[in-house]
Amino acid sequence: MLTTLRDLLRFSLSFRFGAFILLLVAVAVATSFFAADPPEKRRVVPRKFRGDPPSAQYVLGTTALGQDVFWMTVTGIRNTLIIASIAVVIGRGIGVMLGMISGYLGGMTDRVIQSIVESVIVIPRLPLLILIAVILKGGLTFVSLGILIGLLDWAYPSKRYRAQVLSLRERDFTHTAIFSGMSTRKIVIQEHLPFIIPFLLADMVSGFVFSIGIEVTLSYLGLNDLNSLSLGTQIYWANEWSSIYAGKPWVMIAPVVSVIVVAAGFYLVSIGISEYLDPRKRLVRLQTHAQADAAAEQAADPRKEKE
């Protein structure tokens, strides 16, 4: 595990950047627990500081309603990540299960599941989510929103796991295991799962990007629990009180920049992990381990030598 992390940090620029951003995000989330007052509470900031631009005392400025934008933003990041985590766990859970069932059973089951999966990929999810959210309006909490997003985000992942399973099934070691009398359950758990788990990891990280985007979008439409803080609801309220026209852009800028940074962090990490899993790049890495650095440099990048 530690070697993997070290390799990732050493060989992947995007992982290094992404990990750094996610570390900052983690610090922000940890900070959010130390807020003196609940950040959604209004009239916390003394009257003379209300609606002020960023200053030494209020790092990201304050709203006209007397909230401290810094505490709002860190709490928003935390809550958005809670929603996204629930969505990712549920979505990938369904995806892995369907993909594995489809890949292992094959035949008619596979065909039926695949044609449903193909349909779900094509169907636009946002209108469906909006329909559900409108029906549940008022009853939506962070948890139910997370579950909802997760329930609609499993089609693409399941296709990838199915492809993975199909290729694993044809590998030599699977045949060896079958001929040596290993039970199917054991083959799946002991031989195949170790291959699936890294994929799952990369996939989960990239799943955050989608879930964060959907959370922000639904909140902007007013379909989240608007009394709680998340990056989306923060943008909703900043827009609702027209902070930009009122000349207080910092209220809007903080959550907008946070969304971009957090999403980019997750995306960079997922690129890093998928690069790491790419068999061709892995070969390059193994060579680097074996050879001296100078020689490795060339092996890693044959095109450089040519230019």
Site residues for other proteins, window 10-69 (CB under 8 A)? 14
Is 223 near other proteins (CB under 8 A)?
yes
Exactly one of 107, 127, 194, 247 binds other proteins (CB under 8 A); that residue is 127
Side-chain half-sphere exposure of 148, counting CA atoms within 13 A: 25
Torsion, CA 268, CA 224, CA 255, CA 227, rounded to 10 = -140
Per the structure block, which two tokens stand in for 104? 């292992």
Cα 58–Cα 64–Cα 68 angle in degrees, nearest 5: 30
- The torsion angles phi and psi of 62, rounded to 5 degrees, stand at -130, 160
Is 221 near other proteins (CB under 8 A)?
yes
Exactly one of 20, 50, 65, 125 binds other proteins (CB under 8 A); that residue is 125
Please, which residue, 193 or 300, has the CB nearer to other proteins? 300
Give the H or E element holding residue 138. Answer: none
Exactly one of 48, 185, 289, 304 binds other proteins (CB under 8 A); that residue is 304
| Integer Cα distance of 303 and 290 in angstroms | 21
Q: Token pair 């960023």 is at which residue?
A: 54
Is 111 near other proteins (CB under 8 A)?
no
Is 251 near other proteins (CB under 8 A)?
no
Is 132 near other proteins (CB under 8 A)?
yes
Is 118 near other proteins (CB under 8 A)?
yes
Q: Token pair 């030494």 is at which residue?
A: 56
Is 209 near other proteins (CB under 8 A)?
yes
Total residues contacting other proteins by CB under 8 A comes to 49
Is 134 near other proteins (CB under 8 A)?
yes
Please, which residue, 194 or 302, has the CB nearer to other proteins? 302
- The contact mask relative to other proteins for 260-299 (x = CB under 8 A, - = no) is x--xx-xxx--x----------------------------
Nearest approach, Cβ of 129 to other proteins (angstroms)?
9
Q: Which residues pair with 62 in a beta bridge?
A: 68
Is 128 near other proteins (CB under 8 A)?
yes
Exactly one of 45, 60, 212, 229 binds other proteins (CB under 8 A); that residue is 212
Please, which residue, 30 or 260, has the CB nearer to other proteins? 260
Amino acid identity at 156 = Y
Judged by CB under 8 A, the stretch of 1-9, 72-80, 195-203, 220-228 that binds other proteins is: 220-228
DSSP 143-195: HHHHHHHHHTS-HHHHHHHHHHHHHHHTSHHHHHHHHTT--HHHIIIIIIHHH
Distance of CA 99 to the CA centre of its chain: 20
DSSP 3-state of 226: coil
Per the structure block, which two tokens stand in for 187? 């083959």
Output the CA torsion sign for 223, 228, 234, 240: positive
Is 217 near other proteins (CB under 8 A)?
yes
Please, which residue, 217 or 291, has the CB nearer to other proteins? 217
Cα 28–Cα 72–Cα 222 angle in degrees, nearest 5: 120
Please, which residue, 9 or 120, has the CB nearer to other proteins? 120
| Footprint of other proteins (CB under 8 A) | 14, 115-116, 118-128, 130-132, 134-137, 139, 209, 212-214, 216-217, 220-223, 235, 244-245, 249, 252, 256, 259-260, 263-264, 266-268, 271, 303-304, 307
